[in-house]
Each structure stands twice: as structure tokens, then as C-alpha cells.
Structure 1
Amino acid sequence: MDTHRKDLYPDVTASGGLGPAMKQAAKLRGCDTGLPPWESDRIVIETTRGFVSVAPAAEERLFRVRVHIVGFAVEAPGFAWDIGSTGDLGLLVEALAAWREGVPLNELKARFEFMELDEFARAVETGEPTSLQWSGLLSSDFHRGQWNLLRRLRADEVLRNMFPSITHGAVRLNADPLDSTSRQVLVDELDGERYEVIRAGVPGADWVEVSTGELIAYLRAAFNKQ
């Protein structure tokens, strides 16, 4: 941390990094941000409403908070929202704890004036992240090999509402892009007539071979299972 940053963040420097400083502030306020014990300066917290990152500004004392879609790197463009910034470390950890606890967005905004949730809330309500992701995958030459499967899945009125991503060549459909624990399936195309499908994250689940004629009905049923 350079001299300028030390002047702006003496409490962070004294604690040995942003992670330790946040943990200390949270302990003093009796709240839990869910910050992993190994975090030092690169702050990323997994919540049921996406990954939340915190980064200190260089030009002034501000802790900038962003929320990121599940399944993407924190640096991924187009799937992250700035949801506020504050120079008050105590307010920061209280807001993060409330976010992690699932406090409604309108209540969060009322309790923490620094939070700017309008754009994020609008994107979630309109399904914008999901529609943008479908379009992005279907226009990416890198994922050309999955285009036929992606088009077929998006054509279904139910499956097009699932958030798609590509994992080791297989298409992953997630029921909620902001919740890593929501129902999700992986679909791997074998030869255009046969597919392998697995309910990701389900204990004991295994790959099941499904014919092309059964694929859509099988996937719909997989998402209906608890």
C-alpha cells in the first residue's frame, strides 16, 4: 500500500489489509459479512444475491461495492453493478451483513443511504442479465460449437428463462443467476442426436444419456425437482 493510500486508509493499514480491517469492524458491530478467513486485500464475498466485491478508491477514501453475477469472474464486463460507496468502514460491514442476510432491497436502501440499488433491482426484475447472456453466447465465435444446442434450449419458453453459461464445453442452465445454490443442470452434446445431462450440485447425481427427442422434456422435469 503506497503512501497516499496510507493517508487515506490508516485503519486498513494498521490492521494489515482490507480483509482484516473489515473483520475487526464487523466483530465490533456484532455482524457477519461472510468474509473468508484468508481474504486480505482482494475482497469477494459469495451471497445468495451474487458475488459482492469491495475495492478501496485511490483518489479519495471510498470503499466501492459491486455485485456480480454468479458464474462469472469478478472482472467480467456487463454483468456487474456498482451498488454504492462509503468511506465509513463500519457502515460498509453492516450493509454487507444485511445484504448477505437477504434484507429486501428497498429496506437496504432506506437503512444505508450510500447504497444505489435502482439499476441493479431493475436488471434483476426485468431478467436483463439472462437475456444478455443468451445473446452474448450466441454471438461468440468461441462458443460456436454450442450454438445449435443453445438455440434449441433458448427456443423453449421455460428454458430461455434459465441463465446459461459454458462449463468445459457443456451448457449450464441456472435457475437463478444470483444464487449459486439454485437448481441447475449441465447439458453436453454428444453427437447431435444424444446428450448427457446432470443435475449439478445434487449429491449422488450422475450423467444421464438423453435422446434429442426427450431432451427438452427431461430438462424441464429436472428443474421441477426439489
Structure 2
Amino acid sequence: MSGLQAAAEVGGLDTGQIGTRSKAVFAGYTFALIDTGRGSVTVSLVGSKRCFAVHIAQDWLQIADGMTAELSQVVEVAAHWKGGASYDSLSARYPFMRVTELARVLASPDPIAAQWDWLRSAPEFCDDRDLVDAAHRDPVLRSYFPDLSHRSLQLSRSFTDREGAVRISLQDGGYRVQQSGESSQGREYASLEAAVAAASALLGSPSA
């Protein structure tokens, strides 16, 4: 923490409040936290690589992350973010910082459409492309925010409003459809088309 404060003072930078997040060392990392007023900048010392891991977050949302060997760049990133930097400005000025795709999606004019576009085009989701494309073809499901994780597609009103969300999951060669709040484990379907139709019926009902 004293190193961050000293670097900020040398650079004449206003980073916000610098505090200790954890005094413990875990898996080679030590932690410090900078409260910028626009969320937090977490700084992790990675001893094995002799560099600093930097993470910017606002509440539950991870904004950006990166690594640098220069402590001065860590405080510059914090000061730049505190000063109101946009995502594009942050990544352009500090190329080692990667703005997360989810942060860009949620900042877009139409987060639902942007999230669908990402899930349907990014190579990391290619294994579940059939599931995503089938859901996207349904006009009811296409109007909901999709979240893909562990071979399971969740559809909700928005990223933060998960009440009544419906999940389509791969299950033993078939598919399971379940709505949040249900006491049961949902229903299983042999085909993707049947699972999509069932999810559409749930979300298209008046109570959805």
C-alpha cells in the first residue's frame, strides 16, 4: 500500500483512497484496494511474474483487467479511471488494460441485442452455438437477456433482473428447462426444438 501511495505522490496523481484489502498472501498474490469513487481498482502483486495485476470493478461488474510491471502505471490507471475515463480512452491510453466484453455490452444502447451478438459470434462460445442460435430464432426468447455458462443458457429480463428467468441446460444427451423460483428440477426434453418451445411458452406467459 505504501508503494502505491508513494507512486501516486511522485506522479502528482489523485487516485482516490488507497487501502489494504487483505494482508494475507494467497496463491502468490497480495492485495490492495483503491476506491476511486467510480468503483474500485484492485491491485494484486504477482510474485512469480514480478508484476502487478490490475482489476477495475463497479459493484458486481468487472470493468477491466490487465498486468504491468510498472507501479507508476498502476496509479496512472486508477487516476485516469477516477477522472472519468471512458472504456475506449482507458484501453487506448493503457493497452495492457482489457475492457471486458460484458462491460461493453451493458454500456451499449441495446444490451440485449449486443449480448446476443457476442454469444453468437465469439469463438469461445462455439461449442454451444446450436443452443444459442436456436434460442435466438425464437422471437420471445430473443427479447430476453441471454447468459451462457457451463452448457446452460439463461434468459432473463436484464442482466440484473433474474426474477422468473428460464434456463435451458444440456442434460444427459437431452435438454432441461427450468424457471427460477420453481421447486421442481424442471422438465426434460429429447430435442433442442422442444426445449426452446417450452422455454418460449414459459417466458411468453402472462406471469413471466
- When normalised by structure 2's length, the TM-score is 0.54
Following TM superposition, by how much is the alpha carbon of 1:196 offset from its aligned partner in structure 2, in angstroms? 0.5
Mapped pair 1:187 → 2:187: no
Deviations 1:44-75 (A, max 9, x none): 314xxxx38699961757614779xxxxxx94
User: How far apart are the structure 2 equivalents of 1:10 and 1:139?
Assistant: 37
Partner of 1:204: 183
Match of 2:124, SS state, is helix
Compared with structure 1, are the counterparts of its residues 205 and 176 closer, same or farther at alpha carbon in structure 2 (3 Å cutoff)?
Answer: farther
1:149 is matched with which residue?
131
SS in 2 for 1:176: coil
C-alpha distance in 1 between matches for 2:86 and 2:182: 32
- Kept in 1: contact 2:146–2:154 (CA 8 A): yes
Q: How does 1:97-176 map to 2 (within 5 A)?
A: 120=107, 123-124=108-109, 127=110, 129-176=111-158
Separation (CA, whole Å) in 2 of partners of 1:75 and 1:62: 12
1:142 Cα deviation after fit: 3.3
Q: What residue in structure 1 maps to residue 13 of structure 2?
A: 8
SS in 1 for 2:202: helix
Kept in 2, the 8 Å contact 1:53–1:66? The answer is no
Q: TM-score, normalized by length of structure 1?
A: 0.50
Percent identity, aligned pairs only?
15
What's the secondary structure of 2:133's corresponding residue? Answer: helix
Q: Give the letter for the 1:204 counterpart.
A: S
Contact 1:130–1:163 under 8 Å retained in 2: yes
What one-letter code is carried by the residue in structure 2 that aligns with 1:45? D
Relative contact order, CA 8 A, sep 6+: which one is greater? Answer: 1
1:168 and 1:52 map into 2 onto residues whose CA distance is 19
Equivalent residue of 2:101, what SS?
coil
1:66 touches 1:81 (CA, 8 Å); kept in 2? no
Aligned residues: 155
Look up the SS of the partner of 1:8 in the other structure: coil
Code of the residue aligned with 2:8 in structure 1: it is R
Report the Cα offset of residue 218 of structure 1: 2.0
Structure 1 residue 130, shift from structure 2 partner: 2.3
Structure 2 residue 23 is the aligned partner of structure 1 residue 18: no
Cα-Cα RMSD: 4.1
Tell me which residue corresponds to 1:80. Answer: 104
Please, which runs of 5 or more residues in structure 1 have no aligned partner? 23-32, 68-73, 83-119
Listed as ranges, the matches of 1:45-56 within 5 Å are 45-46=59-60, 51=61
Opposite residue 181 of structure 1, the aligned amino acid is R
Distance 1:139 1:198, change over 3 A: same
- The CA distance in 1 between the partners of 2:125 and 2:162, in whole Å, is 25
